[in-house]
Amino acid sequence: MLFDRLIRALLPQEDKFFELLESGAVNLSEGARALQDFGKLSGDEERLVKSREIKAIEHKGDEITREIFEELVKSFVTPIEREDIIALASCIDDVLDAIEFFSDRIILYRVGSVGNYIPQMTEFIAKAVDRIETAMHLLRHMHRFDEIRQCALDIHKLETECDKLYHQALGQMFQEEWPPLEVIKFKEIYEDLEGAMDMCDDAGKVLANVVIRNG
């Protein structure tokens, strides 16, 4: 591992990977903001408009991910481990996929009021994505790994809080004896958001791993 780091220090590095990961993180932030907006809507037409915006953001994310993988094939030296670049790009792609899937499910299930838990969960996701974006911008600055590590810790704390909220939301349905069909619908919707938050936490773990490999 030390030899690999020495090779990277001596050979020209591919800064384009930092640029692409940063672009992916910025695009993810746009997706998280759209998710927050979507989570507050109740009208079908408004949701359809915001859903199309989310799909466009997700499509742009796919293009960035594809470009990262294509550049990896062509590049001899990468600024961080190849598997870390792949993992980070994949995590961003997974979160965007989960955001799109959530918006599709809300529309498919014709959900009316979303209650209080969904806006709160989308806020946790947006905060976690903000920390992901911050960390991505720090990756090119090797001496600031403590800040990247802190971002990873922040994401994990947010995931823990969101998980508590998820269980509270499930508990409310059973305590209030919701109709079975509504329980099925909202259980899957809450799981979509909880899964997106888990994927943010996965990105945080990869970022922490980058610190260990390169710190």
CATH for 52: 1.20.58.220
Could you tell me if residue 61 is left (phi over 0), alpha (psi between -120 and 50 degrees) or otherwise beta? alpha
Taken as a whole, the chain contains a residue count of 215
Which of 102, 116, 105, 120 shows the shortest CA–CA distance to 172? 116
Say what the pLDDT of residue 122 is. Answer: 96
Q: Is the pTM of this model over 0.95?
A: no
Average per-residue pLDDT for the chain: 90
**Residue 204 clears pLDDT 50, i.e. is over it:** yes
**Residue 6 clears pLDDT 60, i.e. is over it:** no
Say what the pLDDT of residue 77 is. Answer: 83
How far apart (Å, rounded) are the C-alpha atoms in residues 70 and 155?
29
Residue 161 belongs to what domain range? 2-214
Which of 129, 131, 137 shows the shortest CA–CA distance to 20? 137
Domain count, the chain: 1
Query: Using alpha carbons only, how large is the chain's radius of gyration in Å?
Result: 19
Asked if 29 and 130 count as a contact pair (C-beta separation under 8 A), the reply is yes
Q: Within 10 A of 170 (CB to CB), how many other CB atoms are there?
A: 17
